[in-house]
Structure 1
Amino acid sequence: MHRMLVDERRWIGEQRFLHALNYCMLLPGPEAQQLAIYIGWLLHRTAGGLVAGILFVLPGAFVMLGLSILYACFRQVPVVDAIFFGVKAAVLAVVIEAVIRIGRRALKNRAMIAIAAAAFVGIYALRIPFPIIVLAAGIIGWIGSRHAPASFTGAGHKAGAAGPAFVGVVDAMFERGELTHAEPSWSRAVRVLAIWLPLWLGPVVLVWAFTGSASVWTQIGGFFSTMAVITFGGAYAVLAYVAQAAVDTFGWLGPGEMADGLGLAETTPGPLIMVLQFVGFLAAFRDPGGLNPIVAGGLGALLTTWVTFAPCFMWIFLGAPYVETLRGNRAVSAALSAITAAVVGVILNLALWFALHVMFRAVVTVEVLGVGPDLPVLSSLDWRAACLAGASMVAMLHFRVGMIPTLIGSAAAGAALLWLTA
């Protein structure tokens, strides 16, 4: 998005892009779609935001639904199982590559590295809730901008190819006084809430009213609506929360299946967060009530997609005008940058979670006073998964092989390894 919107199409300038990105990183939910809505809204008001946000999601939603149906129907076929064995190993490499890529942008000094490390320890070992970690990071950044501005102000920002003097289409509109829709208004904020809160939560209330509080659809609607409010930091950070809840709390799918879903989402167009649709599909497919399992799964996928992405429009249409007025505010910039650094630690936790469940057949939790990390049972190491994961990491990080070729190669290698060692 940065390359296309800033460097090639020149729709938006570097600093305004980074300001919008950091705001979207602060919001709960998928930051990529929110950034698309934000820039569409800047360019063409509400209609632009709607078009950008809907078309950013729609192709991937259709593809993911088709893949989820194929997965649910043919997962037990040996050759399909073997392919996903290799895909899971490659997914681990993809997540680690994401940690490194985001870390290079966000961790520019020791203060940011310390925040990332503290966030990792907090969520992995101490099991501190994600929202508390994000709030604490924001407060640290805010205070740091006043007492150690060199370490906090502008952390995580870097000049792009366009340079600081570059003026994009949006910046030119601002200079001509054409961004009147970016001016805060209480009446506009009330209208946004009056429209988008019912649109977002209305389907959840209807599902609860017609199916009861114990139905899988009510659980899906309630859980993913809650997730839309309390999960911050982008797709990888959201997955760390969803994976553990979907596997450990609800039992909708297993750890290996969550990795399978992430592998499928990595190969589809659109945002990575489409893996949540996969989770919703499997949850309803396996508890269809009186419906056909595929129909039930489709409804679960549709409900998951709606409650995941509908709030994104509300967050942008409601908050973006106020955020635009804060451009250049060093304290806000420092708080957002500290949150981005904390997200690196959260994504590292996701990488470790995948590593434990992909490469080891057994994992135990070591608790002291009710908290403690998950540790592998070393004797349960699956050497085949470890070799595939290591090879995928070498391919992506050393030889710069693309994600899709790596996933395909690892899938083929996984099928061959299982056949040879069967």
Structure 2
Amino acid sequence: MHSSSTTAPADISLKEAFWYWLKLGFISFGGPAGQIAIMHTDLVEKRRWISERRFLHALNYCMLLPGPEATQLAIYIGWLLHRTPGGILAGALFVLPSLLLLGLLSWIYIAFGDIPVVAGILYGIKPAIVAVVLAAAWRIGTRTLRNAILIAIAIAAFLAIAMFDVPFPAIVLAAALIGVIGGRTAPHRFDMGGGHSSVGNTSYGPALIDDDAPTPPHARFTWIGLAGIALAGITLALSAGVALATTFGVQGTLTQMAWFFTKAAMLTFGGAYAVLPYVYQGAVDTFGWLTGPQMIDGLALGETTPGPLIMIVAFVGFIGGWTKEVFGPGHELASAAAGAGVATFFTFLPSFIFILAGGPLVESTRNNLKLTAPLTAISASVVGVIVSLAVFFANHVFGWQNPAGEWDLAAMAIALAAGIALFRYKIGTIPLIGACAVAGLVVSYLH
């Protein structure tokens, strides 16, 4: 699998890439931060498919976009390696295991109700996720926050979103503006590459897609290419939407889901948590696809499955299809599956369009500091946002927001043990999740 540290790996076949992306789809726990950390370990450090500098450049672009950034990063790397089919394959396999697992869990949830075993497992997994996200934020931060200015941007972003509820797009815009100014006034502070900043290829060896590797023909920017991909994506979305409207009516549940989740996808700056209030308001209050408590349970289920956290839309679609009986009484499961499918398709389609259409433009900016400096600043701000999401989740898991002041000491102990396992002993995500699930079962039965 791995070549020596002095030579780049051999070309990767689409078949080899297929098995990697499929495996990643099943092990990508921990939200976007955890997933990006897994990809960095596998693709930069172990397999050396892509250099760290190229990896971070792609990541910065994905951070800038609405939508699930880890999924978009997988699409981007798949596209660089194997053109458009590689990008579609990477993105689809990143999402598919999550959709199937969450569909199964949603069916168990709605068909069999509240099972104590499931509640116990969830109780143990939630604190583990807090630790996983914090550990991944630390890993990304140690690579991205290379000087005092970038650290200050990360701290400011954390305070802005955690203390003052500043919208994520405003944080991104402010960071980009700082990057534009910084790229002109202190360019060395915003240069992610170069020898003096030691991005890290010296420790991993040459990569298949290395810092100085020429841009492959399919990744070279042309306006015709950008327009062609964008037009194809928009045509696909419109065709699917028109087909639903023709079959079920403009006011049909599936048609409304298609339009609603397209809008949600365009608002998903900063990951799933940033768009959750919008999804909650629409799905619970406006359309009545599910209840408030069901939405919260769906988030917990989403935390336990691999794949992007925004996959909670599949749960919303599943319960909404079941509740509204879109195929009529007696066909609840088929209705639920259709709802989950529509929600997932329209949530993720924009991500594929953004990457496949915009990737060549991003590749053309790799050595242009005026364009990369804003992305470097944005990357620093997102570290702060990821930490704030971990704190947000900890507030709910540990009962820090409980008016009675009763903190959940058992959950805090599980999170602390998980953190020690990750930071001190470098335990893998899957064994950690499994161990914490068992701990949750034990604690729930002792109670």
Partners in 2 of 1:70 and 1:196 — Cα distance? 34
Q: CA deviation at 1:287?
A: 4.4
Alignment-derived partner of residue 368 in structure 2? 329
Q: Which moved more, 1:387-396 or 1:207-216?
A: 207-216
Q: CA deviation at 1:313?
A: 1.9
Alignment-derived partner of residue 228 in structure 1? 265
Alignment-derived partner of residue 302 in structure 2? 262
Alignment-derived partner of residue 318 in structure 1? 357
User: Structure 1 pair 211/137, CA: closer, same or farther in 2 (3 Å)?
Assistant: farther
Q: CA deviation at 1:238?
A: 1.0
1:410 aligned onto 2:436:
yes
Secondary structure class of the residue paired with 2:146: coil
Q: Which moved more, 1:27-36 or 1:158-167?
A: 158-167
User: Structure 1 pair 19/95, CA: closer, same or farther in 2 (3 Å)?
Assistant: closer
1:381 aligned onto 2:414:
no
Q: Which amino acid aligns with 1:360?
A: G
Alignment-derived partner of residue 114 in structure 1? 152
Partners in 2 of 1:165 and 1:384 — Cα distance? 44
Q: Which moved more, 1:312-321 or 1:37-46?
A: 37-46
Deviations 1:139-162 (A, max 9, x none): 111111111223322289752345
User: Structure 1 pair 173/89, CA: closer, same or farther in 2 (3 Å)?
Assistant: closer
Alignment-derived partner of residue 190 in structure 2? 152
Native 8 Å contact 1:65 1:278 kept in 2: yes
Q: Which moved more, 1:17-26 or 1:217-226?
A: 217-226
Q: CA deviation at 1:94?
A: 2.1
Q: CA deviation at 1:329?
A: 1.0
Partners in 2 of 1:299 and 1:348 — Cα distance? 35
Q: Which amino acid aligns with 2:374?
A: A
Q: CA deviation at 1:9?
A: 4.4
Partners in 2 of 1:214 and 1:122 — Cα distance? 39
Q: CA deviation at 1:250?
A: 3.8
Q: Which moved more, 1:48-57 or 1:301-310?
A: 48-57
Structure 1, gaps ≥5 residues long: 364-375
Alignment-derived partner of residue 303 in structure 1? 342
Partners in 2 of 1:297 and 1:40 — Cα distance? 31
User: Structure 1 pair 345/169, CA: closer, same or farther in 2 (3 Å)?
Assistant: closer
Q: CA deviation at 1:136?
A: 1.6
1:60-99 alignment runs, 5 A limit: 60-99=98-137
Q: CA deviation at 1:415?
A: 2.2
Native 8 Å contact 2:221 2:360 kept in 1: yes
User: Structure 1 pair 247/16, CA: closer, same or farther in 2 (3 Å)?
Assistant: same
Deviations 1:278-313 (A, max 9, x none): 343344444445454433322222112212222222
Q: CA deviation at 1:210?
A: 5.2
Q: Which amino acid aligns with 2:233?
A: W
1:203 aligned onto 2:240:
yes
User: Structure 1 pair 165/402, CA: closer, same or farther in 2 (3 Å)?
Assistant: closer
Partners in 2 of 1:5 and 1:410 — Cα distance? 27
Query: RMSD value over aligned CA atoms?
Result: 3.2
Q: Which moved more, 1:62-71 or 1:140-149?
A: 62-71
User: Structure 1 pair 228/162, CA: closer, same or farther in 2 (3 Å)?
Assistant: farther
Alignment-derived partner of residue 354 in structure 1? 393
Partners in 2 of 1:103 and 1:191 — Cα distance? 37
**Count of residue pairs brought into register by the alignment:** 398
Alignment-derived partner of residue 271 in structure 2? 238
1:33 aligned onto 2:71:
yes
